[in-house]
């Protein structure tokens, strides 16, 4: 599977039916398994500042990271796409859970997530 490491000057990357693993300059990693797309596509991305108005939040929710937008909108992948991002909980608050939300058809929904502790180096 091809592995791409993007610099901060790049805002897009190709995804082919072979799949690929992409690490953005900010450290976010996306994994598109083989067969996730049937035709080659170019995915564009941008990171938006952490504005709570961008994502619907509940009364006890906090937006702790920038918002990652992937385009083109509406692409239906044939396989689940993996998303890894680093999370350091704030010291002032106890972290109970991390929620990742995605927008599809103008509706927001929570994605299945799991926390993995990074092994000490």
**Residue 36: pLDDT over 90:** yes
Alpha-carbon dihedral of residues 20, 28, 67, 60, nearest 10 degrees? Answer: 120
Of the candidate ranges 9-18, 37-46, 104-113, the one whose mean pLDDT is the lowest: 104-113
Confidence of residue 56 (pLDDT cuts 50, 70, 90): confident
Q: What tens digit of pLDDT does each residue of 9-23 get?
A: 889 999 999 999 999
Please, what are the domains in the chain?
Answer: 3-111 (2.60.220.30)
By 3-state DSSP, what share of the chain in percent is helix, strand and coil, each rounded to 5?
Answer: 0, 35, 65
């Amino acid at each position: 599977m091809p592995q791409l490491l993007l610099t901060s000057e790049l805002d897009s990357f190709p995804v082919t039916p072979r799949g690929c693993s992409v690490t953005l300059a900010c450290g976010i990693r996306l994994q598109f398994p083989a067969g996730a797309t049937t035709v080659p596509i170019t995915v564009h991305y941008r990171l938006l500042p952490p504005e709570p108005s961008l994502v619907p939040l509940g009364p006890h929710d906090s937006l702790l990271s920038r918002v990652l937008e992937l385009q083109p909108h509406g692409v239906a992948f044939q396989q689940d796409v993996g998303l890894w991002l680093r999370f350091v909980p704030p010291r002032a608050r106890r972290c109970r859970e991390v929620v990742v939300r995605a927008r599809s058809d103008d509706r927001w929904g929570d994605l299945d997530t799991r926390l993995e502790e990074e092994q000490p180096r």
